Chains A and B, each alone.
Chain A
Amino acid sequence: MRRIQRLVACVMVAGAGALGSAMAAAVPPTIFAAASLEPALDQMAHEGALGTPAPRLVYAASSALARQIENGAPADLFISADERWMDDVARHDAIVPSTRIDLLGNALVLIAPPHSMSKVQIGQGPAPWLEALGREGHLAVALPDSVPAGIYAKQSLTKLGMWQVLQPRMAMTRDVRAALNFVVLGQCPLGIVYRSDAVSELRVKVLATFPAASHKPIVYPAAIVKGHDDDATRALLAALQAERARGVFRRWGFDVLAH
């Protein structure tokens, strides 16, 4: 009698354990990532460089993601396109501060449609820009007060003394990929996006790169969201820094930051 009871108990425990780990394995971790990381992270997940099951990837402007996380969105990991929004989330006590790292770097570039004849350079004043824009054309830029790519663009253009002249000519977009799309579709003769956006897109060409000194360093911080600090998430963060991931990031135009 007792032996049978013990056997049944063992089976139940084993079964529960198997079920529990199966459930844990079945729920993939979620990464909230800045829109500009989409091609790189998608490729990594597809190739299995981020473990199995592949994480759920949610992309949007860092501002939108930050607000959602502050309001309890179910993200495990947050990768922001700038420090300001990560700081904002940290202020709201929504990340685990000890896990915060500077994951990636990027550069800001000026792009044009591939057939464009513009010879715009940076550092020669706004005249060539205005010539490239013509009478009706617009400069596609992400919203300069909220979207990181736009914030960096504003910093750069201000430092270069061109902000006042160019601001009335801007078509401001919801996120940096929308700005990229305007140039891809030939709607705007010029656009300001990340180097990572331009590298992968055959339908635009890079005219020039903004000097790194003209804006705050473009840093992509990553951190674990408070309440989601577990083995799976830590493993994911480690995978993002592993050699396989670093290779993919570089191919997509990001700088991989040393730790």
Chain B
Amino acid sequence: MSPISRGFSGRRRAEVDPSRVPPGQYVTRDFPVLSAGPTPHTQLDAWSFTIQGAVAEPVSWPWKEFLELPSETFTTDIHCVTKWSKLDTSWKGVSVDTLLTGVDTSVGYVTAFSDGGYTTNLALEDVTGGKAWVAYEFAGERLEPEHGGPARLLVPHLYFWKSAKWVRGLTLTPDDEPGFWEGYGYHNHGDPWREQRYQGD
């Protein structure tokens, strides 16, 4: 049991459905930006998305071909480990299921890799079955570089550091290999509903 903080009453938002806010989170209307380094600005004609690693045949799409893949438009809530949650965010992108169609692999993990060197690790089951996308539009607009454009991974059921900005591909791996923040003590899985913020949570 946490001790009561003398004189603290908090500021609950009456309009927010508490069942949509994971423990320790607060709802914001802003879209805060967090990143470990400068924002990369990759030219679209130099951009591609690649599935590689433990696959029979790597596959890669240049930007124009990526936009021609079947896309989905959807609305979801996102939760950042720095405590903010944003509800009803709308996105357009390609389901990871679509990207993995026809990819022959027997391994169970992926590492998402990004321009700028960022990586994050995920179990294959966390990015398949309609749970993850590579998104290139936010709120009907092209995804801004600060928010991960031209394209970011979107895995809304996990803390947002798993939704790698500036994503350029997925490496399939036989072992679960910690990514950037996972190597600095953040939780390997990152389920906001179980408040898996840091190692051991």
Q: Are A and B co-members of a single complex? A: no
